[in-house]
């Protein structure tokens, strides 16, 4: 099997978003958690997205991790690697986009790298090298107050120029609108002038399709899920890979018991739990008892043992904002959050031991704790339950073959748990 596309994502949720975008655009895609072991057995897929947590760590660490991911992908025959960044270009003058780009470019041997965070589907567009979030430039958007990467400059040629050792140029919308050949010509001209990376304007998906086609001539590109869309459509459109619905295998039934865990306290999740109470047994955990010790987890596992054989169940730590504030005041925000995440992870382990093969988890951090504890190395992306939330099939040793749905708090409609279980047979 030859992989048509390799991706290195600088955070987990961005990786999931990209893997979902590639799947929806016809590529059979696996998302791995971290750089996989050399012996990871992959199903037959077109693309692999390696999820790193490298957005806000020291630049040297981000470079080392990204190079390791790149080497793993190249060793699997990947020609083109997309370094996946946030569509709001989250970074500081110290990096990490520029340093990682420079290192991967040196390894790739490419003379020039295409860079665009544009993702029109989520209202991120780039014009004259300036990034817009909806109707406003990046530096007037809420990103100006981001706690880790406050973005004070919308001009990406300047932003990337402060991070990279390379001279940065622009492929403007006028060239992009003329199609892939015009983009290639402009890139060749910039490269001949000594420019080593180019911000590329894109306002519509059709711009990204042309950019994707041009990018496939190179070994490296840098962008958000929008560029992933362009690359996927480029690969399918040029016949380099056969389009699939991307998800048939991933969604095949696995049988076994089904359970849901909710650690998100978002309004959407609270509503989804209320809806689930009408169709399945629901156990509400006592957060104070969780922080106090392990008995609450054992009580939940005993309860699950009584109900699971009869059908799906839901166990939730979630409570209202007032109750959450009270718990945090008693135990500290981080201590309470960590204890509850770990309790959910222990619960997931116990449930899998009991025979659960279909697991729905609500909450971003909660999902991370569960996936880490189950030791799942990666997922094949399946059909979409709600926008941005696909069914996932575990690949590799830990939890091999089980189905999961991992939802960050605000995602999904009121019937999310029922919707998920309907697709996870
Ligand atoms: P979301 O995706 O909605 O942000 P997360 O799982 O990322 O959900 O975050 C929810 C956080 O709240 C986790 O750290 C979780 O352990 C914590 N938590 C869950 N239930 C409670 C509760 N009843 N009181 C306080 N914190 C809670």
Three-state SS annotation for 18-34: HHHHHHHCCCCEEEEEC
Pick the CATH number of 5-237 from 1.10.10.10, 3.40.50.10840, 3.30.70.920, 3.90.550.10: 3.40.50.10840
Q: What is the residue extent of each domain of the chain?
A: 5-237, 257-423
Q: 284 C-alpha to center of ligand 1: Å?
A: 14
Residues near ligand 1 with C-beta < 6 Å?
A: 263-266, 287, 317-319, 324, 327-328, 336-337, 340-341, 363-366, 408-409
- Model confidence at 175, in pLDDT bands (50, 70, 90)? very high
What pLDDT shows up at residue 398?
63
Kind and range of the H or E run holding 341: helix 333-354
pTM (two decimals): 0.90
What residue owns the CA closest to ligand 1's atom 18? Answer: 337
Tell me what the mean pLDDT of segment 350-360 comes to: 96
User: Average pLDDT over the chain, rounded to whole?
Assistant: 94
Task: Mark residue 80 as left, alpha or beta (left: phi above 0; alpha: psi -120 to 50; beta: remaining).
Answer: beta
Contacts of 369-375 spanning 24+ positions with Cβ under 8 A = 369/263, 369/341, 369/342, 369/344, 369/345, 370/261, 370/344, 370/345, 370/406, 371/33, 371/404, 371/406, 372/33, 372/345, 373/345, 373/346, 373/348, 373/349, 374/345, 374/348, 374/349, 374/398, 374/399, 375/399
Is pLDDT of 246 > 80?
no
CA of 207 to the centre of ligand 1 (A): 39
410 or 81: whose pLDDT is higher?
81
How far is the C-alpha of 416 from the C-alpha of 102, rounded, in Å?
A: 42
CA distance 167 to 190: 10
Provide mean pLDDT across the span 394-414: 86
Residue 107, helix vs strand vs coil? helix
pLDDT > 90? residue 401: no
Hey, how many other C-beta atoms are within 10 angstroms of the C-beta on 182? Answer: 16
Which pLDDT belongs to residue 406? 94
Task: For residue range 211-236, list pLDDT tens digits in order.
Answer: 999 999 999 999 999 999 999 999 99
pLDDT per residue over 187-208, tens digit each? 999 999 999 999 999 999 999 9
**DSSP state for residue 155 in the 8-state scheme:** B
Distance CA 381, CA 48 (A): 10
Distance 364 CA to ligand 1 centre (A): 9
Give, in order, the Cα–Cα distances in Å from 412 to each of 169, 277, 425: 40, 17, 19
Lowest model confidence (mean pLDDT) among 123-127, 163-167, 359-363, 410-414: 410-414
Outline where DSSP puts E strands in 34-155.
47-51, 80-84, 113-116, 124-127, 130-133, 136-137
Radius of gyration from C-alpha coordinates of the chain:
22
> Checking DSSP bridges between strand 403-407 and strand 389-395, what pairing results, if any?
antiparallel
CATH of 257-423, one of 3.90.1640.30, 3.40.50.150, 3.40.50.970, 3.40.980.20: 3.40.980.20
Q: Could you tell me what percent of the chain has a pLDDT over 90?
A: 86
């Amino acid at each position: 099997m030859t992989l048509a596309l390799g991706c290195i994502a600088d955070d987990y949720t961005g990786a999931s978003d990209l893997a979902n975008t590639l799947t929806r655009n016809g590529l059979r895609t696996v998302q791995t958690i971290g750089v996989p072991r050399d012996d990871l057995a992959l199903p037959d897929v077109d693309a692999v997205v390696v999820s790193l947590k490298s957005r806000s760590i020291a630049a040297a660490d981000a470079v080392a991790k990204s190079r390791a991911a790149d080497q793993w992908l190249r060793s699997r025959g990947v020609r083109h690697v997309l370094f996946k960044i946030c569509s709001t270009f989250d970074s500081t003058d110290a990096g990490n986009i520029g340093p990682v780009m420079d290192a991967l470019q040196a390894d790739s041997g490419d003379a020039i790298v295409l860079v665009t965070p544009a993702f029109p589907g989520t209202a991120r567009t780039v014009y004259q090298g300036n990034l817009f979030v909806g109707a406003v430039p990046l530096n007037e958007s809420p990103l100006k107050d981001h706690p880790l990467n406050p973005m004070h400059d919308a001009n990406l040629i300047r932003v990337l120029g402060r991070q990279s050792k390379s001279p940065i140029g622009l492929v403007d919308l006028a060239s992009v609108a003329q199609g892939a050949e015009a983009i290639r010509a402009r890139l060749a001209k910039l490269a001949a002038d000594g420019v080593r990376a180019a911000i590329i304007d894109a306002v519509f998906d059709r711009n990204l399709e042309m950019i994707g086609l041009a990018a496939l001539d190179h070994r490296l590109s840098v962008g958000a899920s929008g560029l992933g869309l362009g690359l996927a459509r480029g690969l399918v459109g040029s016949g380099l890979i056969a389009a699939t619905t991307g998800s048939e295998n991933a969604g095949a039934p696995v049988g076994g018991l089904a359970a849901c865990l909710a650690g998100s306290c978002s309004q959407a999740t609270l509503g989804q739990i209320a809806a689930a109470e009408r169709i399945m047994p629901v156990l509400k955990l006592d957060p104070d008892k969780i922080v106090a010790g392990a008995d609450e987890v054992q009580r939940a596992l005993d309860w699950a043992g009584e109900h699971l054989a009869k059908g799906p169940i839901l166990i939730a730590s979630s409570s209202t904002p007032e109750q959450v504030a009270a718990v945090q005041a008693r135990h500290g925000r981080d201590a309470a959050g960590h204890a509850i995440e770990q309790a959910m992870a222990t619960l997931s382990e116990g449930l899998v031991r009991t025979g659960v093969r279909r697991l729905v988890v609500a909450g971003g951090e909660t999902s991370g704790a569960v996936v880490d504890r189950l030791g799942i190395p990666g997922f094949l992306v399946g059909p979409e339950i709600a926008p941005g939330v696909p069914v996932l099939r575990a690949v590799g040793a830990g939890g091999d073959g089980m189905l999961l749905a991992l939802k960050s708090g605000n995602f999904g409609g009121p019937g999310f748990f029922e919707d998920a279980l309907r697709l996870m047979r």
